Amino acid sequence: MIILLMLIPLSLMLLAFAIGAFVWAVRKGQFDALDTPALDILHDEMRVERAERRVD
């Protein structure tokens, strides 16, 4: 039973840390553009292919 007195506050502190980290990440803009970086790679390849076609 004593272990519960240690684990409950520890889990609450961990939860508070996780919420704090999430709030910090949202305020710093970590979740602003989730799709853009993944699609930038595709757009770069399209630009290279178009440039190669112009040269040929």
Residue-range domain boundaries for the chain: 32-56
- pLDDT of res. 54: 64
Q: What share of the chain is helix, strand, coil (3-state, %, to 5)?
A: 80, 0, 20
| pLDDT for res 8 | 96
Q: What is the pLDDT along the chain (56 residues), one digit of tens a residue?
A: 899 999 999 999 999 999 999 999 999 988 887 666 666 666 655 555 666 666 65
